């Protein structure tokens, strides 16, 4: 069943690949700066890809080896229910999600990279609102986010 679930998550959906390509071409300054730190295995040898279609969503950055999605958010994401639904879906499909504000990338990049490394190495593994980290399966027994 897990193989079937993984196949469903990576199955190409109409328009989502084109959207991912567009997002790669129209990246924000924060995405550009973080990508320069993650590309070509620069972060301790971990391989990341950017603007990756996963189900109906496009994840900003993904480390498939560790099933980690990194999302960069602008002010429009503050208190966003759709982001909670998206994080829940990714979590239920085996991905941990780590979110950063664009401003954090631009002003505190070293701290952001240290947090990413802490998650990748397992130093941070529990759900944490302060770091905006949701491990895979963290919504398994909750009903806090429902699709409306």
Number of separate helices (H) and strands (E) present in the chain: 6, 5
pLDDT at 3: 46
Tell me which residue range forms the domain holding 42.
Answer: 2-134
Cβ-proximal residues to 45 (8 Å cutoff; 6+ apart), any chain: none
| Share of the chain residues as helix, strand and coil, in percent rounded to the nearest 5 | 45, 20, 35
- Hey, which bits of the chain come out as E strands? 49-54, 57-63, 68-73, 96-101, 133-134
Percentage of the chain exceeding pLDDT 70: 73
Q: What is the mean pLDDT of the chain?
A: 83
Residue 127: what pLDDT? 93
Instruction: Give a yes or no: residue 36 inside a domain.
Output: yes
Cα–Cα dist 102/98, whole Å? 13
**Token pair of 11, please?**
């199955």
Number of domains present in the structure of the chain:
1
* Total-model pTM: 0.79
Tell me the pLDDT band of 135, cut-offs 50, 70 and 90: very high
- What are the tens digits of pLDDT across the range 39-56? 999 999 999 999 999 988
Question: Above pLDDT 90, what percent of the chain?
Answer: 59
Residue 16 sits in a domain whose CATH number is 3.40.960.10
């Amino acid at each position: 069943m897990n193989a079937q679930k993984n196949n469903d998550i990576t199955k190409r959906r109409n328009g989502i690949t084109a959207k991912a390509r567009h997002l790669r071409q129209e990246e924000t300054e924060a995405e550009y700066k973080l990508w320069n730190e993650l590309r070509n295995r620069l972060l301790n040898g971990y391989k990341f890809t950017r603007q990756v279609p996963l189900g109906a969503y496009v994840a900003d950055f993904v480390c498939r080896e560790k099933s980690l999605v990194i999302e960069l958010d602008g002010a429009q994401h503050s208190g966003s229910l759709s982001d909670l639904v998206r994080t829940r879906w990714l979590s239920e499909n085996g991905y941990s999600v780590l979110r950063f504000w664009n401003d954090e990338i631009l002003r505190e990049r070293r701290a952001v990279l240290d947090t990413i490394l802490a998650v990748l190495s397992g130093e941070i593994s529990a759900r944490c609102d302060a770091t905006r980290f949701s491990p895979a399966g963290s919504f398994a027994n909750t009903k806090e986010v429902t699709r409306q």
